[in-house]
C-alpha cells in the first residue's frame, strides 16, 4: 500500500534520481508555472540537476513548458506545468447505497464520472459490475486517447496497512474481501497501479493531494453517512495516510462519547455513532432503511422532533471534531458524507461547538479551518485516483 513502508530506507543512484524527479514533478504539480530556477532554489538542487530532470520529465510527457515569465532584471524563466492531457487515473467507490466512479486527469480534474444505485450484493458480483462500469469509463472519448496510470478502489471498512484485504464492512456484510483479486480478472488489460483503501482515508488523501495553492500540512476528512469514519493525511510533499495496524485508525464512530449510553451495533455502549450517524437518526425518527434518509427528512426539517434530533446529532458531531482536534490536531478538517446534505439544522451546532471550543487549550486566535464539502459524491473515488497518481509519481514509473 502507499504507506506500506520500506523495510529499510536505503537506496542506490537510481533511487536518488527517481527521488529528485518525483520532487520536481510534485513541486510543479503543486505550484503550476514554476521555473527551473525556482525549483533549484526550493529543492536545494543545482541548476544543472534540475535542468536534466525537467528535460527528462518533458520527454516523458509528464511536464510541458509554458510561457516565458516576466523578467526580474535578467533572463526570464520559462513556466513549467503538469501535462494534464497525457495520463488519466481511475477511481471507484463501493458505497453502502451507491457505486461511484471517476476518471481523473493528473490535476485532479474529473474527466468522466458515473454513479448509480447499488444494492449490496456479493463481493464477486460487485467486482464484476465495477469492472464493467470502469470499462465504460475507459471507452469514453474524454479518456480514450490518454494513457492509464492505474485504478484505485475505495471501500467502506477497515483495511490494514500492507495487505489489500477489506477486514470487515458491517454495512455491506462483507468480511476479509480481497477486492482487487476479484476485480483483476475482469480487467486483465489494465496495467499500472492497483490499490484499494478505506473510503474516508482516500477522501482525506485526495482532498490534500489535489489541492493547489496553500497546502495544509495535514488534513482530516470526516465522512458522516450511515456510519461515521475519518481519515488523516499528513505531509505536503507526498502525503501519508494514518491507517493503524489493523486499519482501525479513524473509526471515530466507535469512540466512546457517552459512557453507559445506548448500545451500538458493534456491541459496545455509548459509541459516537449512537449519537450521530445515519442509522441513529433513522432510529430516532423512525425512518425505514429502504427510504432515502435525506429525501425523507427534506420535507420534515421544520418538525420539532426532527429539529431536536438533528441538533443533538450535530452537537455530538461537534464534540467528535473537537476530539479529533485534541487527538491528532490536523491543520484542516473537511466534512463530507451524505449527512452534510441535512443542512444547517444539523451542521450549525457542530460548527458552532467546534469554533467555540477549539481555542480552549492555547487561547490563541489561530484557527483550524473547518470546511464542509459542497458535494461529496465523488470525493472518495477521486481520492482513490489521487493515490494512484501519487504511487505512479513516486513509484518506478518515471524511469
Partner DNA sequence: GAGGGTATGTTCAAGCTCTTTACTTAGTTG
Partner DNA sequence: CAACTAAGTAAAGAGCTTGAACATACCCTC
Choose from DNA, its own copies, none: what does 242 bind? Cβ within 5-8 Å by kind. Answer: its own copies
Which of residues 244, 301, 348, 373 is near its own copies by CB under 8 A?
244
251 is an interface residue for its own copies by CB under 8 A: yes
Of 42 and 121, which has the nearer Cβ to DNA?
Answer: 42
Tell me, rounded to whole angstroms, the distance of Cα 307 from its chain centroid.
31
Give the containing element (helix H, strand E) for 84: none
Find the shortest distance in angstroms from Cβ 16 to DNA: 5
142-181 residues in contact with its own copies (CB under 8 A) are 158, 161, 167-168
- Does 323 bind its own copies (CB under 8 A)? Our answer is yes
- The three three-digit cell numbers of residue 288, written as one number: 425505514
Residue with grid cell 429539529, as numbered in its chain: 307
Characterize the bridge pairing of strands 228-234 and 240-241: antiparallel
3-class secondary-structure state, position 360: coil
Site string for DNA, 185-214 (x = CB under 7 A): ------------------------------
* Cβ proximity to DNA, 29 vs 201, nearer residue: 29
Which of its own copies, DNA, none lies near 373, with the C-beta cut-off 5 to 8 A by kind? Answer: none
Size of the site for its own copies (CB under 8 A): 77
Burial class for 285, CB neighbours closer than 10 Å (0-12, 13-18, 19+):
middle
Closest CA to 387 of 253, 201, 235, 258: 201
Residue 219 touches DNA, criterion: CB under 7 A: no
Residue 145 binds DNA (CB under 7 A): no
Report the residue from 24, 187, 195, 398 that binds its own copies according to the rule CB under 8 A. Answer: 24
Quote the least distance from Cβ 97 to its own copies, whole Å. 21
CA gyration radius, the chain: 22
C-alpha torsion angle, residues 112, 116, 119, 120 (rounded to 10)? 20
Contact set for DNA, span 39-68 (CB under 7 A): 45-49, 51-55, 68
Q: Which does 17 bind (CB under 5 to 8 A by kind): its own copies, DNA, none?
A: DNA
Residues 6+ apart with CB under 8 A from 194: 150, 151, 152, 180, 184
Should residue 8 be labelled a site residue for DNA when binding is judged by CB under 7 A? no
> How near is the Cβ of 287 to its own copies at its closest, in Å?
24
360 binds DNA (CB under 7 A): no
Taking the complex as a whole, the smallest distance from the CB of residue 311 to its own copies amounts, in Å, to 13
119 binds its own copies (CB under 8 A): no
Q: Which partner in its own copies, DNA, none is near 343 (CB below 5 to 8 A by kind)?
A: none
CA gap 376, 342 in Å, rounded: 13
> Judged by CB under 8 A, does residue 357 bind its own copies?
yes
Q: Mask of contacts with DNA, 63-102, x by CB under 7 A?
A: -----x-xxxxxxxxx------------------------
Contacting residue, 121, 122, 125, 329, with its own copies by CB under 8 A: 329
Stretch of 56-64, 125-133, 235-243, 288-296 contacting its own copies, by CB under 8 A = 235-243
Q: With b meaning 16 or more CB within 10 Å and e meaning fewer, what string describes 199-224?
A: bbbbbbbbbbbbbeeebbebbbbbbb
Piece of 43-51, 87-95, 100-108, 195-203 that binds its own copies (CB under 8 A): 43-51
Q: What's the rounded Cα separation, in Å, for the pair 195 and 389?
A: 11
Listed in sequence order, the residues at least 6 apart from 368 whose beta carbon sits closer than 8 Å to its beta carbon are 325, 329, 330, 331, 332, 333, 358
- Do residues 238 and 248 lie in contact, with contact meaning Cβ atoms separated by under 8 Å? no
Q: Residue 268, interface with its own copies (CB under 8 A)?
A: yes
**SS3 at position 314:** helix
3-state secondary structure of 361: coil
Nine cell digits for residue 115: 454513479
Q: Is residue 302 helix, strand or coil?
A: coil
Decide which of its own copies, DNA, none touches 324; Cβ closer than 5 to 8 Å per partner kind.
Answer: its own copies
Is 28 an interacting residue with respect to DNA (CB under 7 A)? Answer: no
* Tally: H helices and E strands in the chain: 12, 14
Residue 87: all three cell numbers together: 495520463
Applying CB under 8 A, which part among 131-139, 325-333, 341-349, 372-380 lies near its own copies?
325-333
Which residue ranges make up the site for DNA (CB under 7 A)?
12-14, 16-17, 20, 35-38, 45-49, 51-55, 68, 70-78
Amino acid at each position: 500500500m502507499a504507506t506500506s513502508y520500506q523495510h529499510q530506507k536505503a537506496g542506490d543512484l537510481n533511487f536518488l534520481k527517481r527521488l529528485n524527479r518525483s520532487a520536481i514533478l510534485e513541486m510543479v504539480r503543486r505550484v503550476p508555472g514554476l521555473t527551473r530556477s525556482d525549483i533549484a532554489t526550493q529543492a536545494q538542487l543545482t541548476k544543472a540537476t534540475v535542468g536534466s530532470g525537467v528535460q527528462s520529465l518533458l520527454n516523458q510527457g509528464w511536464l510541458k513548458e509554458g510561457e516565458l515569465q516576466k523578467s526580474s532584471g535578467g533572463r526570464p524563466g520559462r513556466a513549467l506545468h503538469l501535462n494534464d492531457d497525457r495520463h488519466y487515473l481511475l477511481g471507484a467507490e463501493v458505497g453502502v447505497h451507491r457505486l461511484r466512479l471517476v476518471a481523473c486527469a493528473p490535476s485532479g480534474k474529473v474527466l468522466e464520472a458515473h454513479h448509480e444505485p447499488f444494492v449490496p450484493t456479493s463481493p464477486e458480483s460487485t467486482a464484476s459490475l465495477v469492472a464493467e462500469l470502469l470499462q465504460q469509463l475507459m471507452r469514453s472519448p474524454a479518456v480514450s486517447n490518454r494513457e492509464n496510470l492505474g485504478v484505485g478502489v475505495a471501500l467502506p471498512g477497515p483495511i490494514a496497512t500492507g495487505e489489500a484485504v477489506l477486514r470487515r464492512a458491517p454495512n455491506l456484510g462483507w468480511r476479509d474481501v480481497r477486492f482487487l483479486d476479484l476485480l483483476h480478472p475482469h480487467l486483465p488489460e489494465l496495467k499500472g497501479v492497483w490499490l484499494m483503501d478505506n473510503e474516508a482515508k482516500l477522501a482525506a488523501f485526495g482532498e490534500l493531494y489535489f489541492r493547489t495553492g496553500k497546502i495544509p500540512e495535514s488534513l482530516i476528512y470526516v465522512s458522516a453517512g450511515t456510519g461515521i469514519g475519518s481519515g488523516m493525511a499528513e505531509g505536503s510533499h507526498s502525503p501519508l495516510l494514518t491507517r493503524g495496524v489493523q486499519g482501525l485508525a479513524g473509526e471515530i464512530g466507535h469512540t466512546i462519547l457517552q459512557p453507559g449510553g445506548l448500545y451500538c451495533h458493534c456491541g459496545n455502549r455509548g459509541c459516537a455513532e449512537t449519537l450521530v450517524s445515519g442509522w441513529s437518526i433513522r432510529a430516532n425518527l423512525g425512518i425505514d432503511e429502504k427510504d432515502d434518509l435525506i429525501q425523507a427528512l427534506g420535507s420534515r426539517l421544520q418538525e420539532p422532533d426532527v429539529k431536536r434530533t438533528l441538533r443533538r446529532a450535530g452537537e455530538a458531531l461537534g464534540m467528535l471534531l473537537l476530539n479529533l482536534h485534541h487527538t491528532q490536531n490536523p491543520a484542516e478538517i473537511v466534512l463530507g458524507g451524505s449527512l452534510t446534505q441535512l443542512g444547517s439544522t444539523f451542521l450549525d451546532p457542530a460548527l458552532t461547538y467546534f469554533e467555540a471550543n477549539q481555542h480552549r487549550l492555547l487561547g490563541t486566535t489561530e484557527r483550524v479551518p473547518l470546511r464542509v464539502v459542497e458535494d461529496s459524491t465523488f470525493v472518495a473515488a477521486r481520492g482513490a485516483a489521487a493515490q494512484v497518481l501519487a504511487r505512479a509519481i513516486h513509484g518506478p514509473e518515471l524511469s
